[in-house]
Amino acid sequence: MPAPDVDTALLDRGGVRLVVDGPRATITLDRPDVLNAQTPATWQALRAIGQELDPDVRVVVVRGSGRAFSAGLDRRMFTGQPVDGEPGLLEIARDAAHVVDARIAEYQEGFRWLRDPSRLTIAAVQGHAIGAGFQLALACDLRVLAQDAQLCMAETSLGLVPDLGGTLPLVRLVGYSRAVDLCVTARRVPADEALGMGLANAVVAPDELDAAVDALVERVLAPVPGAVRETLAILAAAADGAGETEQLATERAAQVRRLAELSAKS
């Protein structure tokens, strides 16, 4: 069933579909005619979903419609003309630095909530995941790739930098040196290489992608919800570089909360 609490006009303007089925939500970038290229309206729609999604949703799947996950930034953003009522890059650039900073911060919110440990997120990637598309996949906890997937951090080739939150998870996953290679050269990474360097959790045939993601969703929904949430938070702390003493304390505090909840239910 469609989610009732998110503005459908906003979703339509951003080219985003949202379907909620019990504990699972599926977000689909739905502009297949332009390979699901993204605009500021896309990021506004994603941010609204993050703000309004029911807390009972435990797993979010992000996918693209058609033959690509997302080819990145809509090229109309470079023309200097508004795109679907939103300013293009050249118009944004004319504002004062603090205004531009605040605008980019709003865009980042469309991606940031996908890393919240309150729910597990999965990117189902087929075809191109370029620039903003790659960063959207990186925002998710897990990535299942079709064999035809191509990942690319293309921003530097356009004179820009990755600014939608993708650099932190990229360095976490592949390390600094490989991240430099991917970001500075803007080369395309095929699915098998992505699997080898840790960017993908699994690679499957294109016609098996949906089934593989469905099976993964079933597996991650099996554990107790609170245990998954706390474990994600513990792992995030470790990935953020917590020292041994801090990490042990984080584990203890989480276990205390789990034991208290289990005891209350017994």
The CA distance from 54 to 225, in Å, is 14
Residue 201 DSSP code: S
Show Cβ contacts of residue 32 under 8 Å, excluding neighbours closer than 6 positions: 64, 65, 66, 67, 68
Q: Phi and psi for 163 in degrees, rounded to 5?
A: -135, 15
Show Cβ contacts of residue 159 under 8 Å, excluding neighbours closer than 6 positions: none
Q: What is the DSSP string of 59-80?
A: EEEEEESTT-SB--B-GGGGSS
Whether this model's pTM surpasses 0.85: yes
Average pLDDT over residues 1-24: 86
Which tokens hold the place of 34?
């332009």
Average pLDDT over residues 58-84: 90
Structure-token match 């080898």, residue found: 196
Answer whether residue 164 shows pLDDT above 50: yes
| Residue 2: per-residue pLDDT | 45
Mean pLDDT of the residues in the chain:
94
CB 257 within 8 A of CB 233: no
Show Cβ contacts of residue 97 under 8 Å, excluding neighbours closer than 6 positions: none
The closest alpha carbon to 254, from 266, 264, 235, 244, belongs to 235
- Sheet hosting strand 150-152, strand order edge to edge: 128-130, 150-152, 189-190
Residue-wise pLDDT for 227-266, tens only, equals: 999 999 999 999 988 999 999 999 999 999 999 999 888 7
Residue-wise pLDDT for 80-129, tens only, equals: 777 777 888 888 888 999 999 999 999 999 999 999 999 999 999 999 99
Reported as type and span, the H/E element at residue 206 is none
Residues 187, 112, 47, 214, CA torsion sign: positive
Average pLDDT over residues 13-35: 97
| Residue 1: per-residue pLDDT | 45
| Residue 216: per-residue pLDDT | 98
Structure-token match 């023309």, residue found: 79
Residue-wise pLDDT for 38-49, tens only, equals: 999 999 999 999
Show Cβ contacts of residue 216 under 8 Å, excluding neighbours closer than 6 positions: 122, 142, 144, 202
Answer whether residue 146 shows pLDDT above 90: yes
